[in-house]
Amino acid sequence: MKAHPVKIPDKMEEDLQKYMKELGYASFSEFARDAIRDKLYKKEIKPEFEKKIKEGLEDVEEGNVHSHEEVKEKFSGSSE
- 18-44 pLDDT, tens digit per residue, is 999 999 999 999 999 999 988 888 777
Domains identified in the chain, total number = 2
**CA torsion through residues 57, 63, 68, 72, sign:** negative
Shared domain for 36 and 56, answered yes or no, is no
Q: What is the pLDDT of residue 78?
A: 56
Residue 79 has pLDDT above 60, yes or no: no
Q: Residue 51 sits in which domain range?
A: 47-76
Residue 3 lies in a domain: no
Angstrom distance (rounded) from CA 18 to CA 15: 5
pTM (2 decimals)?
Answer: 0.49
Residue 75 has pLDDT above 80, yes or no: yes
Residue 1 lies in a domain: no
